[in-house]
Structure 1
Amino acid sequence: MKDDELPAWMSEAFSEARLHAYTEFMRGDRPAGIRLYWWNTEASAALYGPFHCLEVALRNSVHRRLSDLHGRADWWAVARLGDRGMGKVVEARRVCRGRGKTGTPDEIVAELSFGFWRHLLTKPNDRYFWVPAVHKAFPGYRGRRDALDDQVHSLVLLRNRIMHHEPIHHRDLREDHDKLYRIMGYVNQDLAKEIRSMDRFPAVLAAKPDALGGRRPPQF
């Protein structure tokens, strides 16, 4: 096999089309493109844990505040979610029942996407969500709603790329990582401190040159 050819198993498993973007990013260097693909996978895997903690903590914090505001755990039954938001709740309830669950508030909350919770930070939801309750879900934050929304939206997009196995290597991942911890700290500073102690992403990012140069094997 020539240096610029994909191993047969890799071409079959991942496809030429999928890997082309990585080779192209590395200016046509096929072996370097493959190494970039593996590093992208490693970086995505390393970010999964922090994203897991951020998403769960954020949704639980927002859920608690809205439950307090409306005096009921199924606050969406009386809140002004609009068609889009209620559609997400209906779909979450359908998924729960399809899995043999009753669709309790906790079960529905677990099915609602990160994007659903981020949507509660947008301008149309300012009056009925942010002002009376949602801002309290971020006790460490003192800034504007729109600035927080921009940051959370950026993280939602990154999270979705990771979960859909898409390229993230071209992003400013150091800034993304810092942003993730800023938002996590706004929600719960103790959580952010604890998760940092277990986070291997900084080491993965620092090792990128060695990984792309073939001096360090991928680890995920």
Structure 2
Amino acid sequence: MVTRRPMPYTFTPAQINDLEAVLSPPRFGTYLHETGGDRHRAMELYCWNTDVSAAFYVMLQYCELAIRNGAVEAIESEFGPNWHWNLGFRHSLPKHKGKKNYQPAEDLKTCTNKHPTAGKVVADLKFVFWHGRKV
């Protein structure tokens, strides 16, 4: 049970029904469980969770930038400033089985062909690209 009461929000029963439908019953059910079945408090808790998540967003953006820039610095020291064009680097990227799995080499190729500079490529690559890179 939630020990702290979230910030007060005002919802009509119709708004709660509409928002519950948007969230989906399983998702809203998590919040209902935490509030002992109180639908209004469940919606307050959901909104509070959204507010808390939003508060972390800026810090997470800076963290992501620091990770990407650190990775690029390490890659550039090994493959040079035009690392995004380096076929040796591209071939060193992992290949995941299955069409639905993320393919970093394909993402790099797409971004490199779309953007003129390494900086633009870095900004366009998915964050998962930087996961587990070893240089």
Report how many residues are paired: 114
The question of whether the paired residues in 1 share the 8 Å contact of 2:75 and 2:83 is answered with no
Q: 1:94 aligns with which of 107, 110, 122?
A: 110
CA spacing shift, 1:21–1:72, aligned 2, 3 Å: same
Matched with 1:9 is: 15
- 2:67 maps to amino acid: L
Gaps of 5+ in 1: 130-220
Q: Secondary structure at the match of 2:15?
A: helix
The question of whether the paired residues in 1 share the 8 Å contact of 2:16 and 2:39 is answered with no
Q: Give a deviation string over 1:100-152, Cα, whole Å, max 9, x none.
A: x43532222112233221222xxxx4xxx2xxxxxxxxxxxxxxxxxxxxxxx
* TM-score under structure 2 length normalisation: 0.67
Over 4 Å off, 4+ runs: none
Q: 1:50 aligns with which of 59, 62, 68?
A: 59
Q: Give a deviation string over 1:31-88, Cα, whole Å, max 9, x none.
A: 221111011000110010000000011101110111111223325632211224x922
Matched with 1:106 is: 119
Matched with 1:117 is: 130
* TM-score under structure 1 length normalisation: 0.44
Q: Distance in 2 between matches of 1:11 and 1:66?
A: 51
CA spacing shift, 1:96–1:14, aligned 2, 3 Å: farther
The question of whether the paired residues in 1 share the 8 Å contact of 2:95 and 2:105 is answered with no
Q: Give the fraction of aligned pairs with identical amino acids, expressed as a percent.
A: 26
Q: 1:22 aligns with which of 28, 31, 35?
A: 31
CA spacing shift, 1:93–1:70, aligned 2, 3 Å: closer
Higher relative contact order (CA 8 A, sep 6+): 1
Q: Distance in 2 between matches of 1:7 and 1:93?
A: 51
The question of whether the paired residues in 2 share the 8 Å contact of 1:96 and 1:102 is answered with yes
Q: Aligned-pair RMSD on alpha carbons?
A: 2.8
Q: Distance in 1 between matches of 2:37 and 2:131?
A: 38
The question of whether the paired residues in 1 share the 8 Å contact of 2:16 and 2:43 is answered with no
**Structure 2 counterparts to residues 47-196 of structure 1, below 5 A:** 47-75=56-84, 77-79=87-89, 80-84=92-96, 87-91=103-107, 93-94=109-110, 101-102=114-115, 104-120=117-133, 125=134, 129=135
Q: Distance in 2 between matches of 1:89 and 1:10?
A: 45
Choose 1 or 2 for highest CA Rg.
Answer: 2
